[in-house]
Chains A and B, each alone.
Chain A
Amino acid sequence: MPGKTPNSNGRKPVENGLQKNSKDADKSAAKGKPAAKKGAKEGEDMTVVVPPSKSTKQSSQPPPADAEGDVAMEDSEKTEEELEVKVDPVTQTISDIKSNFALLDRAVALFDARFSLRALRSISSLRKRLNPDILAQVIAESYPPTSPSASVAKQLLSAIGRENVPLGRQPTGSEMEVDSEPKTQAKNGAKKDKETNKELIPEVDVFLAILVQVYMFDTKQFQQGANFSKYLSERIHSLNRRTLDSLSAKVYFYFSLFCEQLTPQAPSPQSPVVTLRPTLLAALRTAILRKDVDTQASVIVLLLRSYLLTSHISQADLLVSHTQFPENAANNQVARFLYYLGRIRAIQLRYTEAHEHLTAATRKAPASQCALGFSQTATKLLLVVELLMGDIPERATFRANNMEQALHPYFLLVQAVRVGNLEDFESTLAEHADTFRRDSTYSLILRLRQNVIKTGIRMMSLSYSRISLRDICIRLHLGSEETAEYIVAKAIRDGVIEATLDRERGFMKSKEVGDVYATREPGEAFHDRIRACLALHDESVKAMRFPMNQHRLELKNAQEAREREREMAKEIQEGDLDEDDLGGDFDGM
């Protein structure tokens, strides 16, 4: 990772933030080795790659145009990476946390959620460096002892076990000296702002509280974490500020994570996950009423997850049918929602829908290492659903280098289904039963038995023009010829094969295979693809972001141009226009 050029890092921090979160959600879904492996891998690229205080710089600059935000970052990164070596990690972390306050301030001032999202993204880079001392120091420095929000700060401090740290302490001078020239200025500027504006906005409270949550989760203090989150969610509920939306989504996210970790764990109906549901449902109701898209999306996803953990499929289905998932939700929430929806539909035997949702989920899943767990889990489910639909997944899916190992049992399964070998299928199923059960695909895979038989019959119908039922029975390891007869008859009715049965003489006779190109099949496939392309075009148009009031400017320009033209036309009519004049005007246009 450190070998990467700064240029390609341009978008990196943004992605990291997103993926980290989706990984969290799927940690237990992916259960086991991929998660553990990932944790370690991520650790190293987090600390090296992510430029920590890009926002410090930005807050000292005049706010750049939004489109240029990412470009500007690249430059700052180059310098930052060099600096990072010299800076003391504790000071660095503290200043990083504080730099986010500025972002939150701007989010409130400009009423633009993007700034708070940016602050949230930095959590993943801060995460590895958090400890109670750093948190306590930040809290102590940010809250003046006399302000009304001091009680909030006290609460935060007691949550991390540092009740006795006095508020309002000033940072010591020595810490500043380590920083290089331009950054010190930036920080001083930021601090001056803070001192003049004594009252801290609630967004900062909540942001610090989220950091506390993250810290507790990483140090496995699940019970305290759950209690703290409960208090926090109540506080958020009472605040009712639109600028808090994206932050509160995060709070609920961690709240539910804490509950999942508490004993008794999920499948038991006494799990705290179940008791959390009323809170989440209340939050969902409020979020919908306040048109709070972030919280809405994340709470719906959490509820679905909680229902599926306890296998309350019908309740999950009801939730989906009674709520509308916000259209413009964050991408990773959409991916998760689609995954859960795909699961529900797969269980309900609605494979076509399940396939659609799961394909979308795997495509929307972030493509890098950090969300590997999610993509793996989604791909596994997708494979099973494809098999259930009677399709054979592409070989390339199994060859992707980070998937190969995790998908191996599924690869064997696909092989068995493809050949139609019932024996192989049974043995694979028995051998990897634990894996499948852990992935909670076992019951779906059990349903595959009939597909194996169908494929077997199809293979035989393709290879033989006439085959006796006895042979079918032996090849497919079926109980008796009678069974074979019924099964073949059903396969013919379901359109799996084109054949007829002869009962007296006991054989199956295959019909001539028709020309596929004479049917409507190719036309339909073509139509599907065109439709997908058109949908893609529409979506990309929708996804474009236009600057406010830009069209008015254009209108004005057009207006001016027309004016000029009219004047010119008038002048030409009047005949007092010489060559130079004309040329000049055209250049101007």
Chain B
Amino acid sequence: MAAERTLQQIITQLKSNPSLPYAEASSLLSKAKLVYEYGALASIRARNPDAFTRYLSQLQPFYELPSSQLKPDAEMRNKVTGLYLLLLLTQGSYAEFHSELESLGTREGIDGPDRIESDRFLGYPVKLERWLMEGSYDRVWKAMKKGEVPSEEYGVFSEILTSQIRSEIASSSERAYPSLPLSSTKSLLFLESEGAVVEFARQRGWAVRDGTIYFPTAAEAGEEEEKDISQMVIENTLGYARELETIV
């Protein structure tokens, strides 16, 4: 709240003195930017993604200002942007993630994706995305533990990411294994105890017998498809006949 009040103050100051000397105006601008940035970080801590997105879109024009008008603070900027990328990742909006990534390449002070990867804050979500796409879930898991997280705010997403990769692993296990012993499922799904595994299996509807999980097989869909094929062929052929009639 205090932050919002400071912001109001700055904006009114800027509005009332359009002829403000340059240096002063830019110091006010950077103050406003700082307020927005802290607002963004605070909203992440408060687990309020909507507020964060709002702050971020307000920050966007600041980041597009040339460095002569507003001294850039690369670290803070990358931190906030990295958080945004991570947020998009956890929300599963990959299209936005990549659009954002593409625009990062043209930003001042960053040339090329190489630099993005080597940046502590930006590199983190980029690497996570690549591992998620590849399926190297153990690396994602490792990256979230052991102090690999670049800053405290990034840790907030760990929980969401964990449940995300867990369900990914579960769905691929369903198809990949005919059965799994409980003990190895525990390590596979990064769960704490076998009790948690049983609980998880119950949620997903897996059968647990004699310390082994049996996955439901997906073999029921066969019959219907057969029918579908003949129906499809008939429909298509009728369609061709109709088209031919209009042509000839």
Closest to B235 in A: A527
Contact in complex: A450, B112 (CB < 8 Å): no
Question: Which A residues are in CB contact (< 8 Å) with B114?
Answer: 433
**A490 with B168: in contact, given A347-B98, A437-B112 (CB under 8 Å)?**
yes
Contact in complex: B169, A486 (CB < 8 Å): yes
Enumerate B48-107 residues with CB–CB distance to A below 8 Å.
64-66, 94-96, 98-99, 101-103, 105-106
Partner among B134, B171, B233 whose Cβ is within 8 Å of the Cβ of A493: B171
Contact in complex: B181, A527 (CB < 8 Å): no
Most chain B beta-carbon contacts within 10 A, residue among A312, A450, A537: A450
- Shortest beta-carbon distance from B148 to chain A in Å: 15
Question: Which A residues are in CB contact (< 8 Å) with B172?
Answer: 486, 489-490, 492-493
In the complex the two chains form, what is the Cα distance from A493 to B175 in whole Å? Answer: 6
Contact in complex: A523, B184 (CB < 8 Å): no
- Shortest beta-carbon distance from B234 to chain A in Å: 11
Closest to B133 in A: A450
Partner among B95, B96, B106, B137 whose Cβ is within 8 Å of the Cβ of A350: B95
Contact in complex: A311, B95 (CB < 8 Å): no
Contact in complex: A490, B113 (CB < 8 Å): no
In the complex the two chains form, what is the Cα distance from A219 to B95 in whole Å? Answer: 42
Enumerate A419-445 residues with CB–CB distance to B below 8 Å.
433, 437, 442-443
**A311 with B105: in contact, given A493-B171, A493-B175, A534-B243 (CB under 8 Å)?**
yes
Enumerate A206-232 residues with CB–CB distance to B below 8 Å.
none
Q: Convert B139-183 into 0s and 1s, putting 1 for each residue whose CB lies closer than 8 angstroms to a CB of A.
A: 100000000000000000000000000001101111111101100
A8-16, A26-34, A183-191, A500-508: which one contacts chain B? Answer: A500-508
Question: Which B residues are in CB contact (< 8 Å) with A447?
Answer: 98, 133
Partner among A442, A443, A479, A537 whose Cβ is within 8 Å of the Cβ of B98: A443
Partner among B108, B130, B137, B181 whose Cβ is within 8 Å of the Cβ of A449: B130
Closest to B247 in A: A537
Enumerate A44-86 residues with CB–CB distance to B below 8 Å.
none
Contact in complex: A486, B225 (CB < 8 Å): no
In the complex the two chains form, what is the Cα distance from A487 to B169 in whole Å? Answer: 10
Partner among B65, B99, B174, B175 whose Cβ is within 8 Å of the Cβ of A314: B99
A236-244, A266-274, A370-378: which one contacts chain B? Answer: A266-274
Closest to B117 in A: A446
Q: Does B205 contact A (CB under 8 A)?
A: no
Contact in complex: A486, B232 (CB < 8 Å): no
Q: Does A482 contact B (CB under 8 A)?
A: yes
Contact in complex: A480, B96 (CB < 8 Å): no
Contact in complex: B95, A480 (CB < 8 Å): no
In the complex the two chains form, what is the Cα distance from A458 to B113 in whole Å? Answer: 29
Most chain B beta-carbon contacts within 10 A, residue among A317, A478, A482: A482
Q: Does A152 contact B (CB under 8 A)?
A: no
Enumerate A331-385 residues with CB–CB distance to B below 8 Å.
347-350
Q: How many A-B residue pairs have CB under 8 A?
A: 120
Contact in complex: A442, B113 (CB < 8 Å): yes
Question: Which A residues are in CB contact (< 8 Å) with B229?
Answer: 520, 523
Q: Does A310 contact B (CB under 8 A)?
A: yes
- Shortest beta-carbon distance from A45 to chain B in Å: 37
Partner among B66, B99, B101, B176 whose Cβ is within 8 Å of the Cβ of A489: B176
Q: Convert B236-248 into 0s and 1s, putting 1 for each residue whose CB lies closer than 8 angstroms to a CB of A.
A: 1000100100010
In the complex the two chains form, what is the Cα distance from A492 to B172 in whole Å? Answer: 7
Contact in complex: A269, B64 (CB < 8 Å): yes
Question: Which B residues are in CB contact (< 8 Å) with A312?
Answer: 103
Closest to A314 in B: B99
Question: Which B residues are in CB contact (< 8 Å) with A492?
Answer: 172, 175-176
Question: Which A residues are in CB contact (< 8 Å) with B176?
Answer: 488-489, 492-493, 499-501
Contact in complex: B99, A268 (CB < 8 Å): no
Contact in complex: B135, A503 (CB < 8 Å): no
In the complex the two chains form, what is the Cα distance from A446 to B134 in whole Å? Answer: 12
Q: Convert A519-533 into 0s and 1s, putting 1 for each residue whose CB lies closer than 8 angstroms to a CB of B.
A: 010010001001000
Closest to B229 in A: A520
Contact in complex: A490, B102 (CB < 8 Å): no
Contact in complex: A443, B177 (CB < 8 Å): no
Question: Which B residues are in CB contact (< 8 Å) with A486?
Answer: 135-138, 169, 172
Question: Which B residues are in CB contact (< 8 Å) with A268?
Answer: 66, 106, 108
- Shortest beta-carbon distance from B38 to chain A in Å: 24
In the complex the two chains form, what is the Cα distance from A311 to B105 in whole Å? Answer: 8
Contact in complex: A449, B134 (CB < 8 Å): yes
Question: Which A residues are in CB contact (< 8 Å) with B134?
Answer: 449-450, 453, 487, 490
In the complex the two chains form, what is the Cα distance from A490 to B137 in whole Å? Answer: 10
In the complex the two chains form, what is the Cα distance from A267 to B232 in whole Å? Answer: 50
Question: Which A residues are in CB contact (< 8 Å) with B233?
Answer: 523
- Shortest beta-carbon distance from B95 to chain A in Å: 4
Q: Does A491 contact B (CB under 8 A)?
A: yes
In the complex the two chains form, what is the Cα distance from A487 to B174 in whole Å? Answer: 14
In the complex the two chains form, what is the Cα distance from A215 to B64 in whole Å? Answer: 34
Most chain A beta-carbon contacts within 10 A, residue among B105, B138, B243: B138
Closest to B68 in A: A270
Contact in complex: B177, A501 (CB < 8 Å): yes
Question: Which A residues are in CB contact (< 8 Å) with B99?
Answer: 313-314, 317, 347-348
Closest to B180 in A: A503
- Shortest beta-carbon distance from B227 to chain A in Å: 11
In the complex the two chains form, what is the Cα distance from A482 to B190 in whole Å? Answer: 12
In the complex the two chains form, what is the Cα distance from A520 to B105 in whole Å? Answer: 43
- Shortest beta-carbon distance from A413 to chain B in Å: 16
In the complex the two chains form, what is the Cα distance from A131 to B149 in whole Å? Answer: 63
Most chain B beta-carbon contacts within 10 A, residue among A268, A490, A492, A534: A490
Q: Does A483 contact B (CB under 8 A)?
A: yes
Contact in complex: B138, A483 (CB < 8 Å): yes
Partner among B95, B112, B136 whose Cβ is within 8 Å of the Cβ of A483: B136
In the complex the two chains form, what is the Cα distance from A533 to B229 in whole Å? Answer: 22
Q: Can you add 19 more A-B contacts, CB < 8 Å, to A268-B106, A483-B136?
A: A270-B66, A311-B105, A311-B106, A313-B99, A314-B96, A347-B102, A349-B95, A442-B113, A443-B98, A449-B134, A478-B136, A479-B136, A482-B138, A486-B135, A488-B176, A491-B135, A493-B174, A501-B176, A503-B184
Jot down 10 A-B pairs with beta carbons below 8 A, ordered by A. Answer: A268-B66, A270-B66, A313-B99, A348-B98, A449-B130, A479-B136, A486-B135, A487-B135, A489-B173, A492-B175
Nearest 10 A/B pairs, CB to CB: A490-B135, A267-B106, A313-B99, A493-B172, A348-B95, A311-B103, A489-B172, A489-B176, A269-B64, A487-B135
